[in-house]
Amino acid sequence: MKPVDRIRRTPLRRYDLPAKSEGNLHHFRRFRKRHFDLPNLYGDRMPLHVLGTAACIILTLAICNASAPLTEVPGVQERFVDWARIQNEKTIQTLPGATPEPNSTLDKIVNFNPEDQLEEIQKEIEEQVKEEQSLPGSSADGTDSAKPSSDLKHYEPGELFYQTDRMTVSIEQKQKDGLTYYVCDIRLTDPSQLRTAFAGDDFKSGIYEAVSDIAGRYSPVLAVNADFCRYHRDGIIIRNGELMRKQNIRRHHLLVVDENGDMRAMTDRSGKQGLVADQLMRARTWQTFEFGPVLVENGQAAELPGTFYVNCHDGYYEPRTAVGQIGPLHYIIIVVDGRREGYSTGCSIPKLQQLFLEEGAQFAFNLDGGGSTTLYFLGEVINMPSGGKQRSVSDILMFMANPVQ
């Protein structure tokens, strides 16, 4: 049998015959090679998917060959130790002279151990975390909750008391139903003993201060945060008989303290801008506060608004500050601590209203609360502000031992 010739010979081109049409092949494919070639298993054209597969295999092999071996990457602690050891070897050299004394500063420098330093740093961080967690109202997640501890303030009946021939102040700390609050009974002899003050000692100062910082410049017997009037930037503001701002607003209620020291509220201010303020000034109004809602009127629970600047629904618990009146120049302030599990959760507006009714208030008005709630008595903050420290505010309400001369 004649052996199969596996080598094809390219036939000579005959120039006496017309060239065969090869369709749309590229021009360099029109002329066949004139040398011997191996058989083409795929004919005249190799499929594109074969070329793509081959290219992917080659690229994968190249990447695997160029990449580093897949080993475990050292952690931050190991890299710090290695880096510190190298730096120590570069900078610390054997010193001439006697050997440094053990545990001395020089000995610690010469025999520096980065692992020991890392352990000291970790211990300092752990101690700092424990210290922060031990603070009242602090926790690991930054919330305002706190467990009962000896740091929680407790006052015996009669402990918080002040009396002169011009005023009497009695404060009682009460606890019930998971609530801790302070009832302040205040009796004055002159309306001018009910005063207000601003952060920076000026309504237009634009700064905020803690209640104790503002009160510290005036030495009142008792002071609380007021309505944060510089925050909402509107409403009628009269302080110590002076008109500061005269814009009408409907989103708040207005507490009015007249020239005799009697309290009342204005909830309907539909008049023209400036008209209500001018009327109040002609009536020689002593103080006004923009907040609310009104809690008690004529010894009865006031109807709470369904939609208001403050959430008035039952079940919404917050620290609260509110002021009221029992009789002529006889006032009551209730300060409720909150946001502290095991000590005081805070109270809702309906609950605050009920507390005033239980104390016999004829009138009561809600002031700014939450983190601003602060009760200052004889140079000391006696309640526990929910943030663990006092919030800076714009103004305070205070009761002075002596009337204005």
Question: Residue 92 above 60 pLDDT?
Answer: no
Q: Which residues pair with 187 in a beta bridge?
A: 168, 330
**What percentage of the chain has pLDDT greater than the value 90?**
50
Question: Residue 195 above 70 pLDDT?
Answer: yes
Whether residue 142 is contained in a domain is answered as no
Q: Among 117-131, 212-226, 366-380, where is mean pLDDT lowest?
A: 117-131
Predicted pLDDT of residue 143: 43
Question: Phi/psi zone of residue 282: left (φ > 0), alpha (ψ -120 to 50 degrees), beta?
Answer: alpha
246 phi/psi in degrees, rounded to 5: -130, 30
Whether residue 70 is contained in a domain is answered as no
Question: Residue 32 above 60 pLDDT?
Answer: no
166 phi/psi in degrees, rounded to 5: -105, -25
For residues 180 and 326, membership in a common domain is answered with yes
Residue 230: DSSP 8-state: H
Give mean pLDDT, residues 121-137.
62
Q: Determine the Cα–Cα distance for residues 178 and 286; give it in Å rounded to an integer.
A: 37
Predicted pLDDT of residue 240: 97
pLDDT band, very low/low/confident/very high, at 102 (cuts 50, 70, 90): low
Q: Determine the Cα–Cα distance for residues 249 and 257; give it in Å rounded to an integer.
A: 18
Angle at 290 between CA 286 and CA 296, to 5 degrees: 85
Whether residue 17 is contained in a domain is answered as no
Residue 157 burial (10 A CB sphere; 0-12, 13-18, 19+): exposed
Question: Phi/psi zone of residue 103: left (φ > 0), alpha (ψ -120 to 50 degrees), beta?
Answer: left
- Could you tell me which of 332, 367, 378, 392 has the C-alpha nearest to residue 198? 392
- Could you tell me which of 85, 89, 74 has the C-alpha nearest to residue 113? 85
Q: Tell me which residue has tokens 């209203």.
A: 353
Computed over every residue of the chain, the mean pLDDT equals 81
Cβ-contact 395, 226 below 8 angstroms: yes
76 phi/psi in degrees, rounded to 5: -65, -40
Cβ-contact 399, 189 below 8 angstroms: no
Whether residue 366 is contained in a domain is answered as yes
pLDDT band, very low/low/confident/very high, at 138 (cuts 50, 70, 90): very low
Cβ-contact 291, 368 below 8 angstroms: yes
Predicted pLDDT of residue 325: 98
Residue 209: DSSP 8-state: B
Q: Tell me which residue has tokens 């945060």.
A: 225
Predicted pLDDT of residue 97: 55
- Could you tell me which of 278, 310, 281 has the C-alpha nearest to residue 295? 310
For residues 188 and 296, membership in a common domain is answered with yes
Question: Phi/psi zone of residue 62: left (φ > 0), alpha (ψ -120 to 50 degrees), beta?
Answer: alpha
Cβ-contact 187, 330 below 8 angstroms: yes
Question: Residue 393 above 80 pLDDT?
Answer: yes
**pTM of the model as a whole:** 0.64
Whether residue 110 is contained in a domain is answered as no
Q: Which residues pair with 377 in a beta bridge?
A: 222, 380
* pLDDT digit string, tens, across residues 39-78: 555 555 566 666 778 888 888 877 766 655 555 667 777 7
For residues 33 and 172, membership in a common domain is answered with no
Domain residue limits at 335: 160-399
pLDDT band, very low/low/confident/very high, at 375 (cuts 50, 70, 90): very high
- Could you tell me which of 260, 198, 173 has the C-alpha nearest to residue 397? 198
Whether residue 93 is contained in a domain is answered as no
Q: Mutual orientation of helices 76-91 and 114-134 as an angle, nearest 10°?
A: 130
Predicted pLDDT of residue 133: 58
Q: Determine the Cα–Cα distance for residues 371 and 394; give it in Å rounded to an integer.
A: 13
Q: Tell me which residue has tokens 């005269």.
A: 246
Return the number of other C-beta atoms located less than 10 Å from residue 104's C-beta: 10
Question: Residue 140 above 60 pLDDT?
Answer: no
Residue 193 burial (10 A CB sphere; 0-12, 13-18, 19+): buried
For residues 43 and 164, membership in a common domain is answered with no
Query: How do 330-336 and 179-187 pair as beta strands?
Result: antiparallel
For residues 175 and 310, membership in a common domain is answered with yes
* Residue with more model confidence, 177 or 133: 177
Whether residue 331 is contained in a domain is answered as yes
Return the number of other C-beta atoms located less than 10 Å from residue 118's C-beta: 14
How much helix, strand and coil, in percent to the nearest 5, is found in the chain?
Answer: 25, 25, 50
Question: Residue 358 above 60 pLDDT?
Answer: yes
* Residue with more model confidence, 102 or 295: 295
Q: Domain end: 60, 76, 109, which one?
A: 60
pLDDT band, very low/low/confident/very high, at 18 (cuts 50, 70, 90): low
Structure tokens at 19: 């060239």
Q: Among 93-97, 241-245, 268-272, where is mean pLDDT lowest?
A: 93-97
Q: Determine the Cα–Cα distance for residues 362 and 264; give it in Å rounded to an integer.
A: 10
pLDDT band, very low/low/confident/very high, at 241 (cuts 50, 70, 90): very high
Task: Residue count of the chain, please give it.
Answer: 405
Question: Residue 146 above 50 pLDDT?
Answer: no
- Could you tell me which of 155, 203, 94 has the C-alpha nearest to residue 380? 155
Question: Residue 79 above 70 pLDDT?
Answer: yes
- Could you tell me which of 186, 195, 162 has the C-alpha nearest to residue 327? 186
* pLDDT digit string, tens, across residues 315-349: 899 999 999 999 999 999 999 999 988 899 999 99
* pLDDT digit string, tens, across residues 251-286: 889 999 999 999 999 987 777 778 889 999 999 999
Q: Domain end: 60, 76, 102, which one?
A: 60
Question: Residue 289 above 50 pLDDT?
Answer: yes
Domains contained in the chain, number: 2
Whether residue 82 is contained in a domain is answered as no
Question: Residue 105 above 90 pLDDT?
Answer: no
